[in-house]
Every structure is written in structure tokens, then in C-alpha cells.
């Protein structure tokens, strides 16, 4: 058996501590991976698997990546669901005795990514921790390691937990070793990556002491998180995990904020998807989503802030009005708005730069970028202070210009430093006398060579004498063969070439060692000063974070103002009562996809009195879904503080938007659809309040006609009766039979999206008008779609037969007497059915061909009496 080399011994000792991670072991200019790690990652990274000396008589599999471009490789492994432990040399190999000391300096996991190469600047990357009590109570904490954002909450019920997790979509979620099994299952089902973390971290007292250690006892008390013990426990676990993996205290995590879900409009995952807030339904990409339309921010911070606003629409009227006010101010002042946006445009991602400072990973360029961004703050401040009273002006007062930090960086660093510290050139001349002297020795070098060369030529009379440099001999004097007899005595021979010989002199060597050591000393000094600067900057982290947050908010507001003008939106009027009234509303995304002016605007009124449930009928392609979604989007835009696509909007505050889309409209899911649809509908019934808005689009479509119709019918009834007061609902359906409901349900109203039929053609008017439709125009739509006329003719025949049949059946779904216990409804319904049967019989008996106009009129009056 071969002996363990010291290097392998060190490797094993370190690897043992990180069994789950791929160990990146720094050796010279490479990070090397060995054994199973190498075998596993070589194909993933598309690098060659080689082998090194033997261990147990076997070749050691190995592969490596250059240290200076390691980040993209790490990114690939993280995306593949692996963790990476980065092990660095922590002493200078030149001065090390024996084997170089090494240590893992960071562990990169999906939630702990802080490299600009990996992060998407527009979306946050969350590390979450989850605790549970009695399967009903949950604590959730979320940390954004690169920016330092740290929030916690407590959640009641699994549904709410799922909805919050899907809203946050954490990159990694920590659960305790002894967490109930269904928690892990739930995360798996939601395709969320989870990590099982030590049980002790999830103990309340331990977690609390981790937090106190980090923030201090008073600060923690000041965060007002003590009444959320489950959330607090989760927060402690998350922080501990982050600290352990970064091997350091996270300075920039300087505050912990608790939030309550009740403060925000609830949007479950289904609503977010159906409303296409962040991705479209077609291919789940960003184009065509609401965010892609209204995100006109110019900074990465602003973009993340706006995203957060869309995820968490407000419910507090004062806060909404405050944002409206700011948006209006900037919307009306085009000049200032464009000035402001132009200045903001040069502000880099302060949050993430600050994060890098605090994680000690900022490079010289990062700090220059930071300085240049900070230099723009005074302009932003004075611009805001010119505005009238209001939130923006307050931001102006609050905005810290951070000139001291910019000055500090400017004093220390060159304006255009190299990316790394290894060749010097980072620290500005004049910063330190010792450094200046070294630099002048180095730059004097050239002059000195020229002077020495000239002097020696004079002295020796050899006009071709040259001073040169190579790596092996350092500086030398070169004399061609023909002049060798003139070489003075003090020259010492070093190297013989074909045509010349090379010499040194003691003077030359003395000078050489001065220059070379100056070079080395310079790099060491520069590293030291840079490190000091970074340390000094850590003291400013919380001021930087506060400023970054203000900038994010200002940018997001300016973006909403820009959108309001660019897309011609209007400021909504906020109402206290539960009423939604929109005049000439538009669908923000669809209107932009059509030629200017082609979109037909529509009005809508919804309240909890006579306009609570609107049944919207109309043929396929009429524009039903569009109206439903546009109402939901207008409500949502209002509550993020935005203006809305309408001519006028009077809006009460909505606590929750539900959307359910019938199976065949739900393109993205391959799952058994009808079940899901019913399941999702049931959830609404359990959670809706009189402040909610429900959007039901073609519910019941995933099954046979009569089943579907009956279900749709029953759902409408239920929405109407919910908790005795009902819930505001927009119900689009092609079951025109549903219009009958308006006769028996006082808060139901019929609308249809009008179309005109002209000969065989159908013309879509896109206008929502009161009243139901009696006709589905299916054949006309099919003709429009290009179905051959033989098929259409035959279909028309069949339809006619069916329709006759349908009249015999009275055209209504026959209610089945069941034990539902709601006899009153059924009686009303059957009464109505009998009545209509009578009418139908009466009409059947008529023979219009033999009637005089007068007889016809009399008959009509009789029929009318029957239904009064
Ligand atoms: P439905 O749900 O009734 O089948 P959609 O709402 O899906 O119809 O609309 C079908 C298409 O009609 C949309 O993709 C859009 O191109 C167009 N459309 C819908 N509403 C309007 C409108 N108000 N103005 C102009 N075009 C519209
Ligand atoms: Mg539709």
C-alpha cells in the first residue's frame, strides 16, 4: 500500500468536513477535484478527466479548472443541484514551510450564490428556512445573501404556505433534520430545492442567540419580531447556515424585518400564472408578461423592487395613495423625470456591491463602480428636494449622499484600476509615501538603464553595447564577439551566445535587486492598503444599504410614472366601499400587441349589490378572457401604486384575486385537468371574502357538456350565496344557458361580448354589453378558422336537429333532486322550468303561416301574461 502524501492527507481531512459538497481544491493556478468528485463533475463541466499519482495502487481521478475563471464552473454545478466547497490556500506558497495551509473559504449552495456571473440582477435569490408546528403553523424566514435583505413571517395553514413559497420561489429552503416528512414532500412537489440542516439550529433558544450575536440584543428587540417565535427560529437557522457557509459574519445583513401576509393582497401561484405577471402562459418566458411591460426601471435595484411590488400589492389605502401621488408628480413633470432617470441610469447595483464589500469579495473595479455610483447621489438629492411636498421630497431629505465614502475610495484607488491586485497599479499615487517611493524606483528603472548603457558605451568605447533582461539571469550587459577585447575588468561573464557574450557588474546586480524587490513590495503594500480600505468600508455597510433601498424605491416610482405616460394610463380614484368601476378599461399587454387604436376599451362595474356576479357570454374569440384579465390587472396595478390602463377607474381595495381558468384554456399543464379545476375552485370557496375578486374563465369546460354546465351553474350559485353575502365574480362562459341564473339570483347580471353575424361571417365587436347571448356562433367561428364548407353544412344540419331536441328538453339543465338541502333554490328552478315548458308547448302549437298579424299580436300578449 502506498503511503499517504501530505497533500492527500490534507485533502482527506478537509473533504471529510464537506461530504455533500464538491471540493474545489486550490493548487497553484487551478482548482482541482479528485476521486468521485472528479468523476462526477468532469462530464457536467465538459472538462477532461485525468489522473494523478496513485493511491492504494489505483490512479487518482482528477480534473481541474483555472482559478481566475472558476465562477462559471461553479454556476454550472449549482444549476445541476450540487453544492461546491471552495478550498483556498491561506498562506503564501513562497513562504510556507512544508505543505501550504488550506481552508474552505466558502460553500456555494443554490441559496448562497453571490457571484455576478451567476445571479440574475433582475430577480432576487433567496435562501429560506422553514419551521412548522402542528402541521398548521409555519415560520418562514428569507435571506438574500447578496443584498442582505432579511425578512420573516408566520403563516397559518398549508395553502397559505404554498402560496407564499411559490411567491418567493426560494433557491434553497432549509428544513430541520427532524421536520415532519410532509414538509420535505411539499417542497419536492413544488420543485423547490431543499437542504436538511442540523436540528440544533432550529431550536428557538439557539436561533435567538444566533440572532442576538449578530444584531445585538437591543437591535433585535427593535425589529419587533419577538411575537413571531416560529419565524424567528427560522431566521436564526437561515443566518447560521449563511454564516457557516461564508465563513464569516455578514455585516450587510443589518436588519430583520417581519411582515404579515394580511398587509398584502394575496395572489396565489395560479393567479400569478394566469394573469401572466412574471411569465407568459405560452412558454413561461418573460416577454408578454406584465412585468416585462411595466418594468421601465433603469437600475437593477429598482427592477427588483418593482418585482417585489408586483408580488406584494398593498392593501393599505394610505400607502397606495402615497405611491399614486409620487407617480403623478413624476408623470406630470417630464423634464425632471427624464433627468432623474438619466442620473439613476449611472447608478450600479449598490445593494449587491455592498453585499460584496461585506463578504470581503469586492475587487478594485467593484469599488470604483461603487464610487462612481455614489457620486451621482448629490444630484439625485437636489433634484428630489426641488419637488413639492410629498413622499419623493421626503426621500430627498432622507437620502444620504455618502460623499465621505466616495472620497475615501477616490483617495485610495486609481480611477481605472486593473481587475486584480496581482500586478499592482490599484492604489493611487500620493496615497502613501512608502508606496510612492517604490513606484518611483520602478519607473526610474528605464531611465537608469538608458543612463547606464550610455555611460558604459562611453567608458568602453563599444558602441554596440546593450543592457538587457531575461528571466534566468536578470539584467545583463551584452557585448558582441568582435568587441570582446575591449571589455573592462570589472565585468563578470555569465552567458556565451554565438555572436556575443553577456556580463554583469556588481553595480548592475545591486540595482536589479532594488527594482525587483520594489516590484514585489509594491504588490504586497497595495494588497495591504486595499484590504484596509475594504475593512474601512465595512463600517459604512448599513448606510449604503439604506441609500440603496431609497434609490430602488425612487427608480421603481419613476418607472411607474414613465409607464403611465408611455402607455397612457390614468390615476385611479380610491374608494372605501367594495366597488370596482372602470370606464374604458384596456388590457395592458394585449393593447400593446395590437396596432395603435385597435384595442376596444370596455366598461365594467362590480359591487356587492346588484352587480356582484357578471356572467359574460359570447362566442369563442369574442374577447371574454381578455376582459376578465384586464379587470384583474387593473385592480392589481392600482394596488401596487401604479396608474391603470383606462380612462377612469374608481377602485375599492381588494384583499385577494382568485383566478381559475377552465381546463382547455389552461395550456401549460398536462395534468388531469378537470380534477384540478374542481379542486382549485373548491379552494376559492373556502377562502374568498366580500373584498375578494374572483375570475372564472370557462369553468367546467373539461368535461361533457351537461356535466360542465351543471358544475358551472352550481359554482355560480355558490359564489352568489357564499357566506350569505356572495363574492364579486366575473364568470366567462360559452354555456349561454347560464344567463337564466340572473332571473333567480338578484346579484347576478348578464353581459355579452357582442358580435355581429353577416351572412355566414362573424364580426367581432369586442364590446361588452348588457344581456345574455342565446347563440354560440360556433359554426361561424369554425368557418372563420377555415373549416371546409362540406363539414360546416353537415354541422349546421346536425345542430338544427340538436336544437329542436333541446327545446323539448326545455333548454335547461334538469336539476337533480339531491340531499343538498337547498330546497328553496331547487323549487324556484323547477317552477321556472315548468313555466317554460308550458310556454314552449304553447309556441309549438302555433302556426304562423295561418295567423293574421292581429292574431299574432294577441297571442303575443297572452304569452306575455303567462310569464308575468
Ligand atoms: P375569448 O375568451 O372570448 O375566446 P379572448 O379574450 O381570448 O376571447 O380574445 C381573443 C383575441 O381577440 C385576443 O387574443 C385579442 O387578439 C382579441 N381581442 C380580445 N379583446 C379585444 C379587444 N377589446 N380589442 C381588440 N382585440 C381584442
Ligand atoms: Mg377565453
Tens-digit pLDDT profile for residues 755-814:
887 776 788 899 999 988 766 666 677 777 777 777 777 777 776 766 654 433 344 443
Atom in ligand 1 nearest the alpha carbon of residue 732: 2
Atom in ligand 1 nearest the alpha carbon of residue 598: 25
Closest residue by Cα to atom 23, ligand 1, is 600
Least confident of 158-162, 249-253, 782-786: 782-786
The reported pLDDT for the residue numbered 804 is: 55
Residues with CB under 6 A from ligand 1: 590, 594, 598-600, 618, 620-626, 766
644 has pLDDT over 90:
yes
The reported pLDDT for the residue numbered 851 is: 81
Higher pLDDT, 745 or 816: 745
Distance in angstroms (rounded) separating the CA atoms of residues 153 and 259: 5
Task: Give mean pLDDT, residues 471-492.
Answer: 88
3-class DSSP assignment, residue 150: strand
Angle between helices 541-566 and 377-385 (to 10 degrees): 60
Give the number of whichever ligand sits closest to the CA of residue 666.
2
Ligand 1 geometric centre to CA of 284 (Å): 20
The reported pLDDT for the residue numbered 835 is: 66
259 has pLDDT over 80:
yes
Task: Kindly provide the residue ranges of all beta strands, DSSP E only, lying in 79-225, ordered along the sequence.
Answer: 84-89, 102-108, 127-133, 137-144, 149-156, 172-176, 194-197
* CA distances for 556 relative to 179, 238, 301, angstroms: 39, 29, 9
The reported pLDDT for the residue numbered 587 is: 98
The pLDDT tens digits of the residues spanning 375-393 come to 999 999 999 999 988 999 9
Proportion of the chain in helix, strand, coil states, percent, rounded to 5: 50, 20, 30
Ligand 2 geometric centre to CA of 734 (Å): 9
pLDDT band at residue 676 using 50, 70 and 90 as cut-offs: low
Distance in angstroms (rounded) separating the CA atoms of residues 855 and 858: 5
Q: Which string of b and e fits 519-546 if b means at least 16 CB within 10 Å?
A: bebbbebbeebbeebbeebbebbbebbb
The reported pLDDT for the residue numbered 683 is: 75
Whole-number CA gyration radius for the chain? 37
Cell matching residue 94: 513562497
The reported pLDDT for the residue numbered 137 is: 93
The reported pLDDT for the residue numbered 440 is: 86
Closest residue by Cα to atom 9, ligand 1, is 623
Higher pLDDT, 441 or 332: 332
Distance in angstroms (rounded) separating the CA atoms of residues 157 and 343: 46
Task: Give mean pLDDT, residues 695-717.
Answer: 79
Ligand 1 site-directed mutation target among 275, 591, 626, 762, most atoms within 8 Å of CB: 626
The pLDDT tens digits of the residues spanning 714-758 come to 888 888 988 888 999 999 987 888 888 888 899 999 999 988 877
Give the number of whichever ligand sits closest to the CA of residue 629.
1
* CA distances for 325 relative to 30, 182, 294, 553, 559, angstroms: 56, 46, 18, 14, 14
The pLDDT tens digits of the residues spanning 32-87 come to 999 999 999 999 999 999 987 777 778 899 999 998 888 889 988 988 889 999 99
829 has pLDDT over 50:
no
The reported pLDDT for the residue numbered 451 is: 86
Ligand 1 geometric centre to CA of 638 (Å): 23
Closest residue by Cα to atom 25, ligand 1, is 599
192 has pLDDT over 70:
yes
Closest residue by Cα to atom 17, ligand 1, is 623
Task: Give mean pLDDT, residues 460-476.
Answer: 86
Percent of the chain with pLDDT over 90: 53
Ligand 2 geometric centre to CA of 220 (Å): 51
The pLDDT tens digits of the residues spanning 728-739 come to 999 998 788 888
Closest residue by Cα to atom 19, ligand 1, is 623
140 has pLDDT over 90:
yes
Cell matching residue 808: 323539448
618 has pLDDT over 90:
no
The reported pLDDT for the residue numbered 677 is: 67
Ligand 1 site-directed mutation target among 282, 589, 590, most atoms within 8 Å of CB: 590
Give the number of whichever ligand sits closest to the CA of residue 586.
1
Distance in angstroms (rounded) separating the CA atoms of residues 558 and 417: 33
The pLDDT tens digits of the residues spanning 333-373 come to 999 999 999 999 999 999 989 988 888 888 999 999 999 99
Least confident of 2-11, 111-120, 404-413: 111-120
Other CB atoms closer than 10 Å to residue 295's CB: what's the count? 20
Q: What average pLDDT does the chain have?
A: 87
Distance in angstroms (rounded) separating the CA atoms of residues 273 and 289: 10
Q: Which string of b and e fits 744-782 if b means at least 16 CB within 10 Å?
A: ebebbbbbbbbbeeeeeebebebebeeebbeebbebbbb
Ligand 2 geometric centre to CA of 738 (Å): 16
pLDDT band at residue 119 using 50, 70 and 90 as cut-offs: low
Task: Give mean pLDDT, residues 145-163.
Answer: 91
3-class DSSP assignment, residue 593: helix
The reported pLDDT for the residue numbered 831 is: 41
Cell matching residue 54: 496513485
Task: Give mean pLDDT, residues 545-554.
Answer: 95
Angle between helices 391-398 and 317-332 (to 10 degrees): 90
The reported pLDDT for the residue numbered 188 is: 92
The reported pLDDT for the residue numbered 789 is: 76
Distance in angstroms (rounded) separating the CA atoms of residues 476 and 500: 12
Higher pLDDT, 665 or 660: 660
Decide if 533 contacts 283 (C-beta within 8 A): no
Amino acid at each position: 500500500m502506498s503511503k499517504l502524501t501530505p497533500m492527500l492527507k490534507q485533502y482527506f481531512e478537509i473533504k471529510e468536513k464537506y461530504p455533500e459538497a464538491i471540493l474545489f481544491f486550490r493548487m497553484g493556478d487551478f482548482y482541482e477535484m479528485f476521486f468521485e468528485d472528479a468523476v462526477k463533475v468532469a462530464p457536467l463541466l465538459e472538462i477532461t478527466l485525468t489522473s494523478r499519482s496513485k493511491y492504494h495502487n489505483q490512479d487518482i481521478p482528477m480534473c481541474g479548472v483555472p482559478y481566475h475563471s472558476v465562477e462559471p464552473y461553479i454556476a454550472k454545478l449549482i444549476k445541476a443541484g450540487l453544492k461546491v466547497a471552495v478550498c483556498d490556500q491561506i498562506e503564501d506558497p513562497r513562504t510556507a514551510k512544508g505543505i501550504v495551509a488550506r481552508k474552505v473559504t466558502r460553500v456555494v449552495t443554490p441559496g448562497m450564490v453571490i457571484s455576478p456571473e451567476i445571479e440574475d440582477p433582475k430577480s432576487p435569490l433567496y435562501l429560506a428556512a422553514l419551521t412548522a408546528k402542528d402541521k398548521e403553523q409555519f415560520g418562514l424566514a428569507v435571506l438574500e445573501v447578496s443584498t442582505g435583505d432579511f425578512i420573516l413571517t408566520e403563516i397559518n395553514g398549508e395553502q397559505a404556505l404554498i402560496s407564499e413559497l411559490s411567491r418567493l420561489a426560494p433557491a434553497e429552503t432549509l428544513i430541520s433534520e427532524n421536520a415532519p416528512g410532509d414538509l420535505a414532500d411539499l417542497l419536492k412537489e413544488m420543485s423547490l430545492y431543499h437542504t436538511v440542516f442540523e436540528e440544533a439550529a432550529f431550536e428557538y433558544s439557539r436561533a435567538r442567540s444566533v440572532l442576538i450575536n449578530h444584531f445585538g440584543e437591543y437591535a433585535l428587540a427593535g425589529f419587533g419580531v419577538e411575537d413571531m417565535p416560529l419565524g424567528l427560529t427560522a431566521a436564526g437557522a437561515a443566518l447560521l447556515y449563511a454564516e457557516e457557509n461564508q465563513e464569516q459574519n455578514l455585516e450587510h445583513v443589518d436588519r430583520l424585518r417581519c411582515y404579515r401576509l394580511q398587509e398584502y393582497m394575496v395572489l396565489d401561484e395560479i393567479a400569478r400564472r394566469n394573469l401572466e405577471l412574471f411569465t407568459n402562459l405560452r412558454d413561461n418566458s418573460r416577454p408578454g408578461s406584465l412585468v416585462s411591460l411595466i418594468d421601465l426601471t433603469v437600475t437593477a435595484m429598482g427592477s427588483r423592487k418593482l418585482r417585489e411590488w408586483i408580488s406584494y400589492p398593498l392593501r393599505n389605502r394610505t400607502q397606495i395613495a402615497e405611491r399614486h401621488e409620487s407617480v403623478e408628480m413624476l408623470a406630470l413633470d417630464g423634464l425632471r423625470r427624464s433627468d432623474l432617470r438619466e442620473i439613476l441610469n449611472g447608478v450600479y447595483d449598490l445593494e449587491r456591491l455592498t453585499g460584496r464589500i461585506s463578504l470581503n469579495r469586492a475587487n478594485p473595479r467593484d469599488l470604483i463602480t461603487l464610487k462612481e455610483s455614489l457620486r451621482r447621489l448629490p444630484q439625485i438629492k437636489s433634484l428630489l428636494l426641488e419637488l413639492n411636498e410629498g413622499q419623493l421630497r421626503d426621500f430627498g431629505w432622507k437620502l444620504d449622499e455618502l460623499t465621505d465614502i466616495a472620497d475615501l475610495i477616490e483617495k485610495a484607488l486609481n480611477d481605472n484600476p486593473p481587475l486584480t491586485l496581482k500586478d499592482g497599479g490599484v492604489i493611487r499615487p500620493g496615497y502613501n509615501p512608502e508606496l510612492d517611493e517604490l513606484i518611483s524606483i520602478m519607473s526610474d528603472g528605464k531611465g537608469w538603464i538608458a543612463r547606464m548603457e550610455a555611460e558604459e558605451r562611453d567608458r568602453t568605447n563599444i558602441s554596440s553595447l546593450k543592457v538587457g533582461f531575461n528571466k534566468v539571469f536578470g539584467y545583463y550587459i551584452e557585448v558582441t564577439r568582435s568587441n570582446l577585447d575591449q571589455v573592462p575588468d570589472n565585468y563578470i561573464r555569465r552567458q556565451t551566445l554565438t555572436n556575443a557574450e553577456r556580463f554583469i557588474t556588481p553595480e548592475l546586480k545591486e540595482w536589479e535587486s532594488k527594482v525587483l524587490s520594489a516590484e514585489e513590495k509594491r504588490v504586497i503594500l497595495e494588497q495591504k492598503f486595499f484590504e484596509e480600505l475594504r475593512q474601512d468600508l465595512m463600517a459604512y455597510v448599513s448606510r449604503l444599504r439604506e441609500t440603496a433601498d431609497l434609490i430602488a424605491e425612487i427608480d421603481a416610482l419613476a418607472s411607474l410614472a414613465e409607464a403611465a405616460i408611455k402607455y397612457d394610463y390614468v390615476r385611479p380614484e380610491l374608494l372605501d366601499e367594495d366597488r370596482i368601476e372602470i370606464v374604458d378599461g384596456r388590457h395592458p399587454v394585449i393593447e400593446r400587441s395590437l396596432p395603435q387604436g385597435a384595442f376596444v376599451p370596455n366598461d365594467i362595474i362590480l359591487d356587492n349589490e346588484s352587480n356582484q356576479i357578471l356572467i359574460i357570454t359570447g362566442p369563442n374569440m369574442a374577447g371574454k378572457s381578455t376582459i376578465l384579465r384586464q379587470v384583474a390587472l387593473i385592480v392589481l396595478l392600482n394596488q401596487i401604486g401604479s396608474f391603470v390602463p383606462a380612462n377612469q377607474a374608481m377602485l375599492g381595495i381588494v384583499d385577494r384575486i382568485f383566478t381559475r381558468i377552465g381546463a382547455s384554456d389552461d395550456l401549460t399543464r398536462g395534468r388531469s385537468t378537470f380534477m384540478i379545476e374542481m379542486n382549485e375552485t373548491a379552494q376559492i370557496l373556502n377562502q374568498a371574502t366580500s373584498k375578494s375578486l374572483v375570475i372564472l374563465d370557462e369553468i367546467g369546460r373539461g368535461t361533457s357538456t351537461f356535466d360542465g354546465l351543471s358544475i358551472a351553474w352550481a359554482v355560480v350559485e355558490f359564489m352568489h350565496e357564499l357566506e350569505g353575502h356572495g363574492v364579486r365574480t366575473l364568470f366567462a362562459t360559452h354555456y349561454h344557458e347560464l344567463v337564466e341564473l340572473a332571473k333567480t339570483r338578484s346579484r347576478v347580471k348578464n353581459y355579452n361580448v357582442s358580435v355581429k353575424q353577416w351572412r355566414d361571417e362573424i364580426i367581432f365587436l369586442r364590446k361588452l354589453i348588457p344581456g345574455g347571448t342565446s347563440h354560440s356562433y360556433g359554426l361561424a367561428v369554425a368557418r372563420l378558422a377555415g373549416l371546409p364548407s362540406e363539414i360546416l353544412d353537415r354541422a349546421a344540419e346536425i345542430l338544427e336537429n340538436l336544437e329542436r331536441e333541446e327545446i323539448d328538453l326545455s333548454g335547461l339543465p334538469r336539476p337533480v333532486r339531491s340531499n343538498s338541502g337547498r330546497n328553496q333554490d331547487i323549487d324556484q328552478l323547477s317552477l321556472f322550468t315548468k313555466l317554460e315548458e308550458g310556454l314552449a308547448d304553447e309556441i309549438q302549437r302555433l302556426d304562423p303561416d295561418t295567423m293574421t298579424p292581429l292574431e299574432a299580436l294577441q297571442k303575443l300578449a297572452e304569452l306575455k301574461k303567462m310569464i308575468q
